[in-house]
Amino acid sequence: MRVTLTAIKADIGSIGGHIRPSASLLKEVERSLQPHLGSDFIDFRLSYTGDDIAILMTHTHGTDNPLIHQIAWDAFKAAADVAKKEGLYGAGQDLLKDAFSGNIRGLGPGIAEMEFEERKSEPFLLFAADKTDPGAFNLPLYLAFCDPMYCSGLLLSPNMFKGFKFEIMDVSYTEGDKVIALFAPEELYDIAALLRDPERYVVKAVYSRTTGEIAAVASTTRLHNIAGKYVGKDDPILLVRAQGSFPATGEILEPYALVPYVGGFMRGSHQGPLMPVKRNSSVSFFDGPPIVSCTAYCVKDGKLSEEADAFDHPFWDYVREIASKKAIELRRQGFYGNAMLPYGELEYGGIVERLKALEGKFEIRH
Contact indicator for 114, 225 with CB cutoff of 8 Å? no
Site string for Mg ion, 48-77 (x = CB under 5 A): --xxx-------------------------
For residue 249, which of 311, 207, 197, 300 has the smallest C-alpha distance? 311
Comparing CB distances to ligand 13P, the nearer of 41 and 124 is: 124
- Residues lying near ligand 13P in the complex (CB under 6 A) are found at 11, 18, 50-51, 90, 93, 130-131, 232-233, 235, 248, 250, 266-268, 287
Amino acid at 269: S
Burial class of 296 by CB neighbour count within 10 A (0 to 12, 13 to 18, 19+): buried
Q: How far apart are CA 237 and CA 293, in angstroms?
A: 9
45 binds, among ligand 13P, Mg ion, none (CB under 5 to 8 A by kind): none
Q: φ and ψ at 250, to 5 degrees?
A: -65, -30
Q: How far apart are CA 225 and CA 172, in angstroms?
A: 8
Contact indicator for 112, 238 with CB cutoff of 8 Å? yes
Question: Which residues are identified as catalytic?
Answer: 11, 230, 233
Q: How far is CA 336 from CA 17, 69, 198, 322, 333, in A?
A: 25, 42, 20, 22, 6
Comparing CB distances to ligand 13P, the nearer of 18 and 331 is: 18
Residues in the annotated binding site for beta-D-fructose 1,6-bisphosphate: 18, 89, 102-103, 131, 267, 287, 348
- Minimum distance from CB of 265 to ligand 13P (Å)? 7
Please, which residues bridge with residue 15 across strands? 20
Comparing CB distances to Mg ion, the nearer of 90 and 185 is: 90
Burial class of 190 by CB neighbour count within 10 A (0 to 12, 13 to 18, 19+): middle
Residues 118-177 that bind Mg ion (CB under 5 A): 130
From the list 111-119, 161-169, 229-237, 294-302, the region that binds Mg ion by CB under 5 A is 229-237
By the rule CB under 5 A, 18 interacts with Mg ion: yes
267 binds, among Mg ion, ligand 13P, none (CB under 5 to 8 A by kind): ligand 13P
- Minimum distance from CB of 1 to Mg ion (Å)? 34
Site string for Mg ion, 252-291 (x = CB under 5 A): ----------------------------------------
Residues found near Mg ion in the complex (CB under 5 A): 11, 18, 50-52, 90, 130, 232-233, 235
